[in-house]
Amino acid sequence: MASRKRRQSLVPSDLSNIAKKSKAKDDSYRKDNLLCELTKKAGLTLKNGKQPSVLDVSKAVFQKQLGLLLKNHSGDLLEDVETFLEEFGEYIDDQQRFHKSLQPCTVSDDSESTSGTVADSVLRLFLGVDVIQSPLMTLLLEKLQEFVGEEEDFIFHLGQKVYVPRLVLSQFRFLDRIVDGKELTKKLMEILGSSCLDVQKEIIACLPDIVEDSEHGEVAKKLRDELMSNKELTCPVIDALTYLSIPQDLVTEIRNSVLDMLKSFSICDLPIVVNFLLESITANDAQEVVTEIRSKVDFTSSSKLPAEELERVRTNIKLTVDALKGRMQFQRFVAEAWIKVIGAAKDSKVLDVFVLLILHWMNHKKAVESLVRNRIRAGLFTDFLLTKAFSSYSQVVREYFPSLQCLAQALLRSPEIVIGYCGSSVYSLAFTTFDAYCQQEIVGSLVTHIGSGFTGEIEAALDILADLVKKQPQVMARYAVFVKGVLDYLDHNNLTVGQIRKLYLLLAQLAYQNKAADGSYLQDDLHIIIRKQLTSTNSRYKRMGVTGAISVVHALASDTSDSEEELPADSYKQVIELLELVHKSGRRDPEMTALFLDSLATTIDTENLYSNVENWVAGNMVEAFEENYVMDVDGDDTELKEACPVTIESTYDLNKSESTIVINLVDLAQNLYDRTARRHLEADVSALCLCPLFHLVAVCTKKQSKGDLEAIDALLGCPVYMVEKTVSEKMATMSRKEKDIVCASVFLCINWFREIINSFASMSSAEVKGKVMMRLKHVCELTTILEKCLLQHPSFQPPPASFDLENSFSKTDASTSSAKPSAGGAEKKKGKKGGGKGKKGKENLEVSGASQLDKTNTQGSQALQKGSEEDSSDKEDQTMNMSVYRQYFRELDISVFTILKAGLVTRAALDSEMNTKATEQLQIGLPELQFLLEDLSLKLSHALVATATKRRSFLKTKSNKTVGFSSLDTYSPAEVAERAVKLLPCLLDHLEEACTFFQTLVAENDGVEDGPGRFTPEALAVSACYHLTLQCLLSLFSWNGFASDTHKPLLKEALLIVFRRMRASQDQSSFVSQQDSLSCTFQYLSNFVETIPTLEAAVTLLKLLAGLAERAGSEQMNVKLTKQAKAFLKREWRGADGERLKGAKHNELLLVVVKTYIVYCSEPLDALEEITTKGLAELANEDKDGCAEEFVSLNRHSFSTFYKVVLTELISHIKQIPALKKNDSEQVKEDRLLSWMMAVKVLHVAVSLIKVFSARGNLSAALKFGRQFVEIFLRLGMPLLDVTFRRHHEEVEKLLRSLQQSTRMLHHMCGHSKINKDVALINQVPMLKRSLEAFVYRVKAMLTLNNCQDAFWMGNLKNRTLKGEEILTQQSSIASSGETTANEDADENEEENQGDEDEDGDSEVELEAEVPEQETNADGGSYSEIF
């Protein structure tokens, strides 16, 4: 009871408090006016601004009641509406009340609607009343002009800060009904022009939600004008345009306007702009729009921007790329357009990289990989581009890492060196730029490449890993375990010695040169593996062990600080023990010891080892060389000569009678091939170790005496015990053993002299230089002797000179005594020792070992069979191609080519002054010059990768092409290029000497190029030097490294050398631009065109000039190049026998000249027409041995070459004729029509010539390229004819007549192919006939479009042979089927085009559709093809 009393006493008090609070909270807007009266009656209570207005009824009821109240209030609706809005204007003049009017009302408890719910705002409720909607909209829009973007223009709405104009305009969105849409649109456009920028953006953003569909066109035009006048409105305008329903022609117009100003947009606007452009295109105009986007969108941003600004720019770039991705993902034709545009572009941009990655991600893998390869070949996809993409836009590229990795794998697997190099760059940049996950994936991928089994792929992967270890050893140490795993599969991976060397070296660097603790476990593993391999009985494993040991020595003993300190005792002991272990393991294996000596010499030469290690090596090796290979000169050598089965003599002594030592090469050769003694197995005295040991001794001596070899200079001129120089004349009567000794002696002597030249060529002493040049002369003489000996003993197996090969020299049994090389049996023995499990594995390895030797024999025999007979004055016998024996000669060091700086002396001067002038003036003879240039050309071609296609072979049978570059590969391409530039002056001297020689020869023959003396041995040698010098220049100037900014100064230096030769009188210190130096170099080399002796040299010169022209980008150079190519085509190229050159090689060279003439011509179609009409067509009227008058090099043997080039370049050029655009002028249309008329003429002449030159290759080319021509014409040519037919009906009619005749001939070729049952030709027939059928109906559509459909009629075209004879089998088939046609008997010659004038004066062209009669298929049934 007490509690109830307390509760009852509290009730009156609570009610009084609530009443007071409600009175205080009552915020109703009370005025005696029409606004309050009507709104209250309709069910809305307006508030004074502190609280939201209250709606007592539903929205629909309120709007209906308010409308009725306004209509029925006084009878004057207009006056009542005006009064109502005036009073409402006063109401919202108060800022607080205005803001509340924009916010939702609350629903009262008494409302039929759910109590407490939120209703529309007051303004939106009023806008739903038809009678006041339009004037109220005007009132609100006028109020927008009061806002200027100040802080007070923002309010908090639903917990967020909102711009008031945005709230005002949101009242207009998605109204149930708009009374006067046109007036609203007009008012919005007026307000748009007079408002501040922020309000303008808000108005534009809401336009698609306010304006009716019928007004979208007008709004779009207004927005386009705003876009043109105010760049700050770009984003809202384009965003609004995206949501407007606009006619296609207006869309195109707006899009073109946006494209015109695309360059002016800021990078922040690009995401929206690009999305609009790609969203508004169709398949027809996709390529055009994509081209504009690619050319005008530039992602280049300054790195000097503040960090926040730079990050904002990169974010917008990523958004732009995402916009591209979205459009390409949902519109396939956009992706296809990007592929076409990038493929046709002549430059490269970072945007290309992003687009290609997107396309690859979208499963356009094959197309992207092919496109990337083509652009790399063209020199457009460069390291600079990739570096820019990775360094500046890593967040974009990172998103597509899986595609990037897949693309890098495909590039690295390519057999083309340039493409593989690009793949290597992608891997390196990705590893450097991305996170740990990507780095691990990259290392794993590279290890997979190593296990691929393909030589080029393995080399590239190892090079990348080595580069990463060198640049980022700490990072790579984390992933060393992945790389070490390769050692467990060396047998399965079939790595070569050079590849194993790279693998061991990078592992050793990770183990020993990395300061982190990660490498300790790797050191133990390496030592265990290397010791196992060195103690193995398998020679392959031993070579692996040698390579690993040298790599560990390299890593342990390299003094990277250049401090001249000694190696610490522990490491020194470790190094010496390892070296002694290797030497001990190879005592009975000369090849292994030779590999060890060569590898150690290379390491000491290229690296800076600690002095105590160098001293130990030098002391032991010099002593071993003197003890085992150097003999004192003894007055009586009778006993020595008697012990040898062949006659020997002490010869090649350059020290006259002062020599006290001699090298007995014959004894070494005898021990090497004496199978009855065990001495040939001892490495310490083996002939195989002579040159490697001397190489090591010379390197150590140079290092210790700072480049001076005075301590061993006696070896330079000391004599050697050799077989007689006339021994080749007696070999026919010798035994096999004696022949082996003779040939081996010559090989050893050549290699000894080569190694002598390598060591002493860099010396500056005049006396030493003279002796080096004499040794070079001896090498050339001995090579000539060796050729004669090998002709007498072609099955001879030479001793190896390069020991890092898989199939090097091997020992044999005494029982081996057939015509096979003596190494055959032993190679089988080695195979058995290293074989796999079981008998089958051993047999396979045995066959493999023998096949390598058989291959060498086959090459030698082929060289013998292919030896050429030269009719010289002394009637020399046939000679052998010595290139197949290149792996058996010691490699020349790159320093040897300083000899080229000596002048050139002719053969006559050498004969008369061999011992005086040639030695004293250090002049070089023709054979020596040719010898050096051949080797230099090969080295430059190997080291300096050009932008042109250069392929590496995945086939082991061609591995000998990489032989002879072990020493060269220790230099980087930049170092090789630098040395080549230093040789450039002397190369140009020799080039000028050769040019002068042929100028004199032509002058003596009264201007006859192939006159007497042209094919003498001397002239042929000069000609070879001419070509080799040009080849060296081509390799140098074509190096793709010159595209890098790092190496551009080197290119400039090379060009300045030529520039100063041309303009010696000019001030040497004056500035010369690269363009001027390129132009001058081009002019200098152009001077040699008239004296080019061979077509091979001419092609090399053209390639050189073309490379300079492309680098300069000069149209004037292209014109000159065209003239030079034409001059070569006008020459008649003859061989030494006086006959015209012919054959596959000649035609291949001629193809390059013809293509150069066409491609670099300013008007390629003119060049094609000239070759077709003045060359190919004229040849048809010549006899069998005749040639074209304008192009003398064109004859029956070279016709197919010219023919294929013409058709290939015709197709290539018509692809570049731009497609028709709507805004093209009449002049542009006329020019393109003229181009098509010329192209059709070329096709017509080319196809017609098949009647005369009906070879299978010509037929195949005509069918293939004829089909492509028709397809391209349908795509690019017919749209042009559609719009030019009425204005140029005569030209169009002529074009179609000519093309129709060509298609008729192509149809006859189809019949000819089927009659001859040529499968290769028949396979092309279905696609060609499909294209011909499409052409017929496309012409009909064109005539219909121009109201000339009556001019089109169909006739029946009979299938005929090339000679015009009807194919009777088809006629019989038709007769048996009983089917007839209206024009069955009409002959082909009776079918023609006729033109009549119609009522409007326009011409009607009457065209026939070629309809072949029914043919019988192989099963006896019949089918119909319409053409």
Which pLDDT belongs to residue 963?
72
Which pLDDT belongs to residue 1319?
85
Percent of the chain past pLDDT 90, that is, above it, reads 25
Mean pLDDT confidence for 1057-1067: 77
Residue 300 pLDDT class (50, 70, 90 cuts): confident
Residue 18 pLDDT class (50, 70, 90 cuts): very low
**Cβ neighbours, 10 Å, residue 405:** 18
What tokens does 334 get?
Answer: 């956009």
Whether residue 393 contacts residue 374, with contact meaning beta carbons closer than 8 Å, is answered with no
Residue 4 pLDDT class (50, 70, 90 cuts): very low
Which pLDDT belongs to residue 1372?
42
The top-scoring range by mean pLDDT among 902-911, 1128-1137, 1204-1213, 1274-1283 is 1204-1213
> Is residue 1140 pLDDT above 70, yes or no?
yes
Whether residue 1253 contacts residue 1198, with contact meaning beta carbons closer than 8 Å, is answered with no
Mean pLDDT confidence for 621-626: 89
> Is residue 1392 pLDDT above 70, yes or no?
no
> Is residue 1323 pLDDT above 70, yes or no?
yes
Please give the helix or strand (H or E) that residue 105 lies within, else none.
Answer: strand 104-107
> Is residue 617 pLDDT above 60, yes or no?
yes
More confident call, 754 vs 1341: 754
Following DSSP, what letter does each residue of 175-216 receive, concatenated?
-S--S-HHHHHHHHHHHHHHS-HHHHHHHHHHHHHHS-GGGH
More confident call, 754 vs 50: 754
Mean pLDDT confidence for 1256-1269: 90
Which pLDDT belongs to residue 862?
41
Mean pLDDT confidence for 1043-1051: 85
1089: Cβ–Cβ under 8 A, 6 or more apart, which residues? 1098, 1101, 1124, 1127, 1128
Which pLDDT belongs to residue 935?
93
pLDDT, one tens digit per residue, over 269-287 is 888 888 888 888 888 888 8
Rounded Cα–Cα distance for residues 1029 and 1032 (Å) = 5
3-state DSSP assignment of residue 1355: strand
Following DSSP, what letter does each residue of 901-954 receive, concatenated?
GSPEE-HHHHHHSTTTHHHHTT-EEHHHHHHHHHHHHHHHHHHS-BSS--B---
196: Cβ–Cβ under 8 A, 6 or more apart, which residues? 147, 148, 149
Mean pLDDT confidence for 1346-1366: 69
Q: What is the dihedral of CA 842, 848, 851, 855, to 10 degrees?
A: -160
Q: Which residue has the tokens 């945007």?
A: 351
Rounded Cα–Cα distance for residues 641 and 864 (Å) = 32
More confident call, 1285 vs 1386: 1285
Mean pLDDT confidence for 58-65: 90
Residue 157 pLDDT class (50, 70, 90 cuts): low
More confident call, 957 vs 743: 743
Rounded Cα–Cα distance for residues 271 and 538 (Å) = 65
Percent of the chain past pLDDT 70, that is, above it, reads 81
Q: Which residue has the tokens 């649109």?
A: 185
> Is residue 1358 pLDDT above 60, yes or no?
yes
> Is residue 42 pLDDT above 80, yes or no?
yes
Which pLDDT belongs to residue 468?
92
pLDDT, one tens digit per residue, over 1112-1131 is 888 899 999 999 999 999 98
Which pLDDT belongs to residue 1064?
67
Nearest to 125 by CA among 206, 61, 212, 49: 61
Instruction: Please state, in angstroms and as integers, the Cα–Cα distance from residue 1228 to each residue in 252, 734, 1161, 1220, 1280, following that order.
Output: 21, 82, 21, 9, 11
pLDDT, one tens digit per residue, over 229-258 is 887 887 888 888 888 888 888 888 888 888
Rounded Cα–Cα distance for residues 538 and 917 (Å) = 54
Q: Which residue has the tokens 């050191």?
A: 523
Mean pLDDT confidence for 1322-1340: 87
The top-scoring range by mean pLDDT among 608-622, 794-808, 1343-1357 is 608-622
**Summary mean pLDDT of the chain:** 80
Rounded Cα–Cα distance for residues 473 and 1253 (Å) = 65
Which pLDDT belongs to residue 1105?
94
Mean pLDDT confidence for 795-805: 86
Please give the helix or strand (H or E) that residue 1403 lies within, else none.
Answer: strand 1403-1411
Residue 519 pLDDT class (50, 70, 90 cuts): low
Which pLDDT belongs to residue 1418?
35
The top-scoring range by mean pLDDT among 821-835, 848-862, 925-939 is 925-939
Query: How is the beta sheet containing 720-723 ordered, strand by strand?
Result: 631-632, 661-664, 720-723, 648-651
> Is residue 1035 pLDDT above 90, yes or no?
yes
Mean pLDDT confidence for 1069-1079: 82
Mean pLDDT confidence for 438-449: 93
Please give the helix or strand (H or E) that residue 792 lies within, else none.
Answer: helix 766-792
Mean pLDDT confidence for 111-138: 79
Residue 812 pLDDT class (50, 70, 90 cuts): very low
Mean pLDDT confidence for 1280-1286: 87
Which pLDDT belongs to residue 1179?
86
pLDDT, one tens digit per residue, over 1175-1203 is 888 888 887 878 888 888 998 889 999 99
Instruction: Name the least confident of 28-37, 242-251, 914-923, 1233-1242.
Output: 914-923
Mean pLDDT confidence for 7-31: 51
More confident call, 673 vs 1124: 1124
Instruction: Name the least confident of 490-504, 889-903, 1376-1390.
Output: 1376-1390
Residue 1356 pLDDT class (50, 70, 90 cuts): low
